[in-house]
Chain A
Amino acid sequence: MILEKQKSIILEVKNLKVHFPIRGGFFNRVVDNAKAVDGVSLQIQRGDTYGLIGESGSGKSTTAKVMVGLQEATSGHLYYQYTDVTKRKDRKKINYNREIQMIFQDPELSLNPEKRIYDIIAEPLKNFESLSKKDEKLKIIKLLDIVGLDAEAMYKYPHQFSGGQRQRIGVARAVSTNPKLIIADEPVSALDLSVQAQVLNFMKKIQKEFNISYLFISHDLGVVRHMCNKIAIMNRGQIVEVGTKDDIYNHPLHIYTKRLLASIPKADVNNREKNRNHRLAVEKYYLENQKEFYDKDGKPLPLIQISDTHFAAVPENIAKGGQ
């Protein structure tokens, strides 16, 4: 526990809101807001793999976009190593854009098909580091080696690689500037099982080697369980439950977390009926009781502390039961 507290926070989001205006009516005025992210606070500690789980539309990718500066926040704050970096100009000062990198879901789309691997990996290096041609090349060879590709790969084009290799190139590009935090938005969901294993292994390996923290966004709860030590569940633009792996998987309290966990198909034929009945029971409970977990506008309740590590947006009586 003491060790836990000594860990420093690398990135903190405080009460982040991202609202998209919905225009309509006369003069195309703003008639309403789509509240994609509506009051998210989270802390990523150094060396952690922080899992952000949610379904499409829950706001998890929008939160990530704010972190890498692809999306302006409507309100709220972003702190990098305790420095406020909500504003774009503040980020420049402290090399934020270099120290936070991103791995995208689909390597087919995130690698420019007209560029050679050399140029793809060199791009962030050229932006942030002024290396000589020779050093640049050496660095790229080293990066390719880290992700298990031959040096000659750098003269090839993305289409000459398989999906898993392409995603590893994406990883090589992300680690090229020695980032402290990598935001991985569904990094393996476009990949096959055996290839997924490769990429996840590499992500773990470079984490150890370079002491990288991850924000790991996924809807695959099995993968999150394998990768993450801290997990937050997002629903309707807010975090509804956050805790350790054990808190979330073994003692979930929020109705939405329970539903999500019950929905994962399990590779367990022997208990197919049991799993199915459990899922249907949870679904029934969800339909009957979900109102208790949201306020009258359909917003999740505020988070309540259950234990040192576990927070859940649940009504008081349930929180007491879980404490």
Chain B
Amino acid sequence: MSDETLLLSIRNLNTDFKINNNFYPAIKDINLDVYRDETLAIVGESGCGKSTLAQTVMGLLNPGDSKSYGHADFLGTNLIGLNESDINEIRGVKIGMIFQDPLSALDPLKRIGDQVVESLVYHTKDNSEKRAKRALSLLNQVGIRNPERIINEFPHQLSGGMRQRVVIAMAIACKPDLIIADEPTTALDVTIQAQILDLLKEIQKENHCGIIIITHDLGVVAETADRVAVMYAGQIVELGTAIQIFNDPTHPYTRSLFRAIPQDDSDSDELYVIQGSVPSLVKMPSHGDLFAPRIPWVKAEEHEDNPKMHNLGDGHFVRCKCYKYFKFLDGWGE
């Protein structure tokens, strides 16, 4: 991929959270690129920092209890440390955002029509009549069949799927170059989920935007992502194309995660469980392989002290050398 289509380039990005007057790293040394027409999935379990990453990039974290440093260059502008008025020029205009819970992304006291129009007010110069028309066509575009009725309703009157469509309509109102979707379908039914994911793909085809989709659902990743970043404990532990990640998962965490999916045709009663749990922010060790405590049978010398990303070629990266030695205790997948 060429530099011309590069939208967002994240380099050495860190965010620390303030807890009891101490700062603890929530995301560490993130390096990622996002290109036009590309869907990048960020996968990981709750607490791995995937939402923090999105919020850092969008400047949505409260500067009072967090600090971010590093680079997130969006079309040449570093988003980190940008002042409020400058980031407002980008947020909602060039970067659209879709959140998990559409109910909290919508104002409960405002009619749908007014909310969609509002997303246009700040960012376009159209008159109110044109804006109203555009709002209707946006709602139409996201597959709402009777937008004339919907614009007069309040968020609580709509179903979850409809609400998420409204949120997407607002996110794409200004034809953003980049859409960040944080668990966009987690709260939705599967048939609706499929429609919403299709919708995002359609929008991408039309607007040639890049999409960052943050999810914990590997099925969603497999169906939408071109590239995948797997996060664990605030770090990216594996990065590659969807094909590489799914066909050749390399980091022990990625491999464990795939093994925990209930399989279609296996009759085995027991699902694979990853030992232990993700350490809390406060208890996170400052060095060493953070996944090591969850695979205690791997010897200490088979981990790195300060795990680096290893290049496996063709854009496939994995953190820590332990992938070379890792085997499941029961020899699964040999």
List the interface of chain A (C-beta within 8 A of B).
55-57, 162-165, 192-198, 200-201, 204, 219, 221-223, 225-226, 249, 259-260, 262-270, 272, 275-276, 279, 283
Contact = CB atoms under 8 A, between A and B. Distances in A.
Contacts of B326: none
B223 A194 contact: no
A56 B189 contact: yes
B222 A162 contact: no
Nearest to A262: B194
Contact of B218 (A267, A272, A279): A267
Contact of B256 (A194, A264, A283): A194
Contacts of B247: 269-270
Contacts of B220: 265
Given A263-B190, A269-B222, 16 more contacts: A55-B192, A56-B160, A162-B278, A164-B277, A194-B260, A194-B273, A197-B273, A219-B189, A249-B264, A263-B193, A266-B219, A267-B218, A267-B219, A268-B222, A270-B247, A276-B223
A265 B271 contact: no
Nearest to B192: A55
A193 B260 contact: yes
Contacts of B222: 265-269, 272
A194 B243 contact: no
B190 to A, nearest CB: 4
B161 to A, nearest CB: 9
B196 to A, nearest CB: 11
Contacts of B261: 193, 222, 267
B266 to A, nearest CB: 8
A270 B248 CA distance: 12
Nearest to B218: A267
A265 to B, nearest CB: 3
Contact of A197 (B46, B189, B197, B260): B260
A11 B257 CA distance: 37
A259 B192 CA distance: 11
Interface string B262-303: 111000011111100110000000000000000000000000
Contacts of A198: 273
B246 interface: yes
B246 to A, nearest CB: 4
26 contacts: A55-B190, A162-B277, A193-B45, A193-B216, A193-B218, A193-B257, A194-B260, A195-B45, A196-B260, A197-B262, A197-B274, A198-B273, A200-B271, A201-B270, A204-B269, A221-B190, A222-B262, A226-B262, A265-B190, A266-B219, A267-B218, A267-B219, A269-B222, A269-B246, A270-B246, A272-B242
A123 B246 CA distance: 46
Contact of B219 (A225, A226, A264): A264
B273 A192 contact: no
B331 to A, nearest CB: 19
A265 B270 contact: no
B191 A55 contact: yes
B65 interface: no
B219 A265 contact: yes
- Which of A162, A225, A267 is packed against the most chain B CB atoms within 10 Å? A267
B301 to A, nearest CB: 26
Contact of B271 (A226, A276, A279): A226
B33 interface: no
